[in-house]
Chain A
């Protein structure tokens, strides 16, 4: 039988440093008086390869490891980290983090004792994705991407393809005596093409990934699918006309356009902003914030998905958390600190970019459940509007609630029919009321392909989004063409 994830992580992170659980007990001695404290051990092995001009131009291998020590007293957090995993470095970090304790009056003293590790159903394999293929096989994937993209159209001038994978081991020891481990694989592939036709150039990219090995890309003709999709997108945009400017009916396609939910409501429902009262959604649980039929969840428990985790970065098992149910705001996404201060339970959304960053409430896979409408009928119901099916990134001001997301593939809807492609445009709206303008929900829920990255307070984490086709009555579209 293979070693359990916990044993493997122990071998990877603690044994080389000669650390055992009695050492951990000694570290926690320096964190006495904490309402919450944890040690976050992490090691990452990262590898990427890039192709350009038909040549494998570069490859990178990275080794990152370290340990972060956090102590929370009341609302106050002290934090220090070290890229050296050793007893001395841990003691030094613990003493620094405990500097916060001076300011605190509460807290209790309790001897630290390791508890039995939790048994959690694994959402992904723990195998090393970097070892899932030989170097030659990885390179063959990129060459295939180049070949498929060039075969897709004579207008393709440039193909840039990348693959990247990471194998992450984490171990979290908290002041309650819990020891939790996780082994997380993550891979992705991106293909970007530049097309040129009649002196006009356009570029587009696509890709996919998730928590498995690189062999995922050899299955189901995925490389060809990504390459053809990138070329299709670029060619569509070659013929795009100026986008209309101003408020209009917008139909959003299924899948990646779910970035709307991530920006418009997701961030505003993160526990830290609501505990501090800085979100436009603060204090609004139980209120109607969306049309009937709108149900939005954050689900970290989907198998193999990019945003999924067996346990979050505080050791809490992930959940499927209902954020909005039939239009009513149900609750927030929480980490331990903010849950405790708000008198709630962690929802398993405590995430951090690395040992050198503090955890905070973050999304996992955020999506809207399917409705009943046929997507074709949704489009047919619009006299004049915009049909936006692909997006770049977005951003939100959680206090004012104003959010944007930028379309990279969009079409005019004229008399119920999708007509000309229009140039990419930024859409802007107000988070707390945009979902009240949802007038039709499609029956075609889809999740994105697995390349999403979310940034918050300088920390990046992998996430997923999804939604069915949606009709929104009145979003401001940032085009350049005055509507007649």
Chain B
């Protein structure tokens, strides 16, 4: 979506938002809130030098919630014609006639609405032609395929660009407009050791809001090949208690398990093993977790959450102690607390490093499992029981010995948080959650 299209979308979606709010009043809603989006993009996937897929994306949609007193109704549509808009409002209002009275429902408190709506530098469209996209992805795949003769096949190199506009608005008169862009380049290849039948696959990717900030195609291809070769001749290890070092990419999942356990929804539904843990020490002293919603060009940056509530910098965990939950307006009311502007999720989390490099973490671990891939979703959010499939490397004397596959790692999340030994400074910048590797002791690794 180029600047001209964006400006057109800005005018049209703002007008549509007003129309929707007007219709909502007309059909009996006391309040309403909505989000509108429009965006477009291009993606290309190359497989063995062939253009496997060339896709043009063009999306738009409206998502509306209306309130009739303390009754709520929702509707969505991908058709933004005048008739569809009116039908959608009617459908939402009709639903609100049948839902029950809920004293916690409704717009967020008016005095919480964001007033600061500056430019967070999230929109950098890329006028990428199909020809250029094909050329970049092909170069990326070639770099991987030519890296080593044990790279026997490709699972595809992909490039994509997407940009668009989102508008949220509510019947207080609040309007928040966010133009944004995201560009990705990835490569996945397959390796096989000579005289063996087993194949291994791994991948690497780069992502940014500014295409100039992407890693080069050659670098992405080579990295994907290196990672894939590293997995050759992977094997099971025997079942044992072990320390586990999560690579930065995998470490993010530990933070996301934590944030879902302290989400307002899991707190008021009492579906969490960290129930009522505000003010409690849930991590060791050296753990600090921050939310910084206003980072320039951040993947999770925003001045307001989905309710329109103003975001601000905050500490979620200081010296291992949970400061507050992660709440939108609804769950905050359920808990008798104030919204933390997290309707729709968190905005840029950073877990502070304890200062060690990746190599230093390997030395601290001494013997244990370095985990570079996790599969499956064996997590019980109510009890915190954790059991997932894993692959990675066995480490002895602080040095990588051999690749490991077909094992599981298991523990209890509550204990795992307490058993964190260190957080590396090898931060993976490709996400709204930033962390280095995380070393956890005392987990169970199951294999042979």
A247 at the interface (CB under 8 A from B): yes
Report yes or no: B72 in contact with A57, Cβ–Cβ below 8 A.
yes
Residue numbers in A under 8 Å from B92 (CB-CB): 61
- Shortest Cβ gap from A326 to chain B (Å): 23
B57 at the interface (CB under 8 A from A): yes
Report yes or no: B98 in contact with A59, Cβ–Cβ below 8 A.
yes
Report yes or no: A245 in contact with B201, Cβ–Cβ below 8 A.
no
Interface residue tally of chain A, by bracket?
Answer: 35 or more
Within 8 A of A (CB), among B29-71: 47-48, 50-60
Report yes or no: A404 in contact with B375, Cβ–Cβ below 8 A.
yes
Query: How far apart sit A96 and B130, CA to CA, in the bound complex (Å)?
Result: 10
Residue numbers in A under 8 Å from B88 (CB-CB): 61, 63
Convert B299-342 into 0s and 1s, putting 1 for each residue whose CB lies closer than 8 angstroms to a CB of A: 00000000000000000000000000000000000000000000
| Main SS at interface, chain A | strand
Report yes or no: A79 in contact with B53, Cβ–Cβ below 8 A.
yes
Report yes or no: A482 in contact with B74, Cβ–Cβ below 8 A.
no
- Which residue on A lies nearest to B56, using beta carbons? A80
Known: A55-B102, A276-B153, A483-B239. A245 touches B376 (CB 8 A): no
Report yes or no: B51 in contact with A404, Cβ–Cβ below 8 A.
no
Known: A56-B100, A203-B271, A482-B239. A400 touches B199 (CB 8 A): yes
Residue B54 contacts which of A65, A100, A429, A430 (CB distance < 8 angstroms)?
A100
B411 at the interface (CB under 8 A from A): yes
Residue numbers in B under 8 Å from A246 (CB-CB): 238-239, 446-448
Residue numbers in B under 8 Å from A392 (CB-CB): 377-378
Residue A83 contacts which of B78, B231, B381 (CB distance < 8 angstroms)?
B78
Residue numbers in A under 8 Å from B198 (CB-CB): 280, 400
Residue numbers in A under 8 Å from B381 (CB-CB): 203
Report yes or no: B59 in contact with A356, Cβ–Cβ below 8 A.
yes
Residue numbers in B under 8 Å from A201 (CB-CB): 270-271, 275, 382-383
Within 8 A of B (CB), among A158-178: 158, 160
Within 8 A of A (CB), among B92-120: 92, 94-95, 97-102, 105
Report yes or no: B57 in contact with A428, Cβ–Cβ below 8 A.
no
Query: How far apart sit A356 and B39, CA to CA, in the bound complex (Å)?
Result: 13
Within 8 A of A (CB), among B215-249: 231, 234, 236, 238-241
Instruction: Determine, out of B179-187, B254-262, B401-409, B417-425, the stretch whose residues face the partner at the interface.
Output: B401-409
Query: How far apart sit A81 and B270, CA to CA, in the bound complex (Å)?
Result: 43
Q: Chain B: residues with CB nearer than 8 A to chain A?
A: 47-48, 50-60, 72-79, 81, 84, 87-88, 91-92, 94-95, 97-102, 105, 130, 134, 153, 155, 190, 198-201, 231, 234, 236, 238-241, 269-271, 275, 375-378, 380-383, 385, 387-389, 391, 405-412, 444-448
Name 7 extra pairs, CB < 8 A, besides A400-B198, A402-B406, A427-B408: A60-B76, A103-B51, A393-B376, A399-B200, A425-B378, A480-B412, A482-B241
> Could you list 25 examples of A-B contacts with CB < 8 Å?
A56-B100, A57-B100, A58-B72, A58-B99, A59-B73, A59-B74, A59-B95, A59-B99, A61-B94, A64-B77, A76-B53, A80-B58, A97-B54, A135-B98, A245-B408, A245-B445, A247-B448, A356-B59, A400-B198, A404-B388, A427-B408, A479-B410, A479-B446, A482-B239, A482-B444
7 smallest CB-CB distances across A and B, nearest first, come from: A478-B408, A404-B376, A426-B378, A246-B239, A404-B389, A399-B201, A406-B378
